[in-house]
Chains A and B, each alone.
Chain A
Amino acid sequence: MIIEVKNLSKKFGDREVVKHISFNVERGEIFAFLGPNGAGKTTTIKMLTTLLPKTDGEIKLNNFDPEDNPDEVRKSFGIVFQDPSLDTDLTTYENMEIHAVLYGMKKEVYRPRIEELLKLVELHDRRGDYVKNFSGGMKRRLEIARGLLHHPKVLFLDEPTLGLDPQTRNLLWNYIRDLNQKENITVFLTTHYMNEAEKMANRIAIIDHGVIVDIGTSEELMSRTGTDSLEAAFLKLTGHAVREEEGENEFRNMAKMWTGKR
């Protein structure tokens, strides 16, 4: 078991956005979180990756607790955030090099590794170019290569294909499947595209309003809901209602205005 989560909760003030969820991810598995906007996917990933303290529950990633052993946990995973996180004033190679140094890699080790990964994501010929001139797809590919640089055991991908064209999405998933098979990397992904989850993931957790409503292979989810597509199963489990995020967000925006916090 590479990820073990028991009874995990997160409150922001009085609002509980992750509510006592439990799940495990096996080593080498591709695991997907599927859920509407505001379901708590990113919040859960942030707790797993040491970015947010949990309110309650237990987390083990590669057998380490993110709050007791943050650095061990940090060495164990690579991440592609939902929002961009590259330094666009630097070149492809420089972004990779900073990452390698932050992860304590030696020059003789990281040099060939960077070359290898940049070839894999087809950015090798752009290694000296500034990232600010890159398309969304190129930036994503670079972020994936960077996340893999330090040989992580788990790769987190938070909506990695958001805003990309179908060709690029396809290409990305192919790399990821390749890596999962070749380096036996565990992949934890979130997406809003049903077909991606269906095609990529060994198991899928459907999360809504901070609760995992069902978890299993896409076949299991379909048969349990008596539907014949993952999309139908998803809608049956989470309902047709558009999330009342707006209302809550309006409230949050007001709070932000008052406190100046974002």
Chain B
Amino acid sequence: MQTIYILWQRQVKKYLRSPSRIVGTLGQPLFFLLALGYGFGSIFKQAGQGNYLQFLSPGVVAMSVLFTAVFGGIEVIWDKQFGFLKETMVAPVSRINTMIGRTLGGATVASIQGVIVVIISMFFGFRPETHYLLLALLFMFIGALLFTALGTGIASVLDDMQGFPIVMQFIVTPMFFLSGSMFPIEGLPKILGYIVHANPMTYYVDGIRGLLIGGNHFSLGLDFAIVTIIALAFLGIGSYLFSKIKA
């Protein structure tokens, strides 16, 4: 328990201490809200879909959680390279607890980032329309766990940061774009529809949207179930890969 707590605290402390990292990761969501939220707003309305900013903001929130969380997991590579990982590997603690501590830490950081983006999007005119904000926070955190575990698993098999751009381009970015974060997923072309339905991020975006403004595509129950099950699966796989890291 103490191990988990101190490693959780380490992640959170490091995040809160680097304002440049907080501000840096807010650039992307700002850009999406500005360019897309305002830029596409009129087309979206003409198409009879309502207010695009209301639709887009939850997607951008989910996106920030995704990127921050995967990045938090990937930090394992830094610990490999700068040596801190060895310190945890010779300590009399189980690798599972080490992994749980850092994953909870990474997920906490990503959730804080998500909340900051909700607040920012409110400056752009976004208004939550439900009373499920606490539930939304919980859901946000479960998804953050999923993505942190994904990042940790990937980092466990990579040896240096050289593979990082590949991960971002071929895993994280497609997860974001092919998830309905920016467009409604009704009536998509067949192949695209399949990909979108196979992407866990789709259910995450849908859940967050449902909890913030209502009107899910799937049911909230399904979103919760899928995101939670995949989070557990990734935590399992991530822990396994993490436990196999060689000195």
Contacts and interface: CB of A to CB of B under 8 A. Distances in A.
Interface stretch (A83-91, A113-121, A165-173, A194-202): A83-91
Given A89-B17, A262-B159, A102 B10 contact: no
Given A79-B90, A85-B87, 4 more contacts: A51-B86, A87-B10, A99-B87, A104-B2
A261 B90 CA distance: 22
Given A90-B10, A104-B2, A74 B83 contact: no
A101 B6 contact: yes
A84 B82 contact: yes
Nearest to B158: A260
Nearest to A259: B159
B247 interface: yes
Nearest to A256: B159
B2 A49 contact: no
A94 to B, nearest CB: 8
B4 to A, nearest CB: 10
A39 to B, nearest CB: 18
B159 A102 contact: no
B13 interface: yes
A74 B247 CA distance: 15
Q: Per DSSP, are chain B's interface residues mostly helix, strand or loop, or mixed?
A: helix
Given A71-B92, A103-B91, A260 B159 contact: yes
Q: Which of A71, A83, A102 has the most CB of B within 10 A?
A: A102
A50 B10 contact: no
B35 to A, nearest CB: 33
Contact of A261 (B87, B89, B159): B159
Nearest to A100: B6
Give the bracket for the number of chain B residues in contact with chain A: 20 to 34
21 contacts: A50-B90, A51-B89, A52-B247, A71-B92, A74-B91, A77-B90, A83-B86, A84-B82, A87-B82, A88-B82, A90-B13, A98-B6, A102-B3, A102-B87, A102-B88, A102-B91, A104-B2, A146-B87, A260-B159, A260-B163, A262-B159
Given A50-B90, A71-B92, A85-B87, A98 B159 contact: no
B83 A98 contact: no
A102 B6 contact: yes
A84 B83 contact: yes
B160 interface: yes
Interface in B37-94: 79, 82-84, 86-93
A11 B7 CA distance: 34
B14 interface: yes
Nearest to A101: B6
A103 B92 contact: yes
Contacts of B5: 101
A60 interface: no
Contact of A101 (B3, B82, B89): B3
Interface in A85-143: 85-90, 94, 97-99, 101-104
A236 interface: no
A140 B92 CA distance: 22
B18 to A, nearest CB: 8
Interface in B146-162: 159-160
Contacts of A260: 159, 163
B170 to A, nearest CB: 15
A81 interface: yes
Contacts of A46: 247
Q: Which of A75, A79, A87, A103 has the most CB of B within 10 A?
A: A87
A111 to B, nearest CB: 14
Contact of A99 (B13, B18, B91, B159): B91
Contact of B86 (A81, A94, A101): A81
Nearest to B93: A102
B86 A85 contact: yes
B94 to A, nearest CB: 9
Contacts of A90: 10, 13-14
Contacts of B3: 101-102
Contacts of B163: 260
A49 B87 CA distance: 11
B81 to A, nearest CB: 10
B10 A74 contact: no
Given A89-B17, A97-B6, A98-B10, A49 B91 contact: no
Contacts of B79: 87
Nearest to A49: B90
Contacts of A103: 91-92
A101 B160 CA distance: 28
A101 B2 contact: yes
Contacts of B160: 262
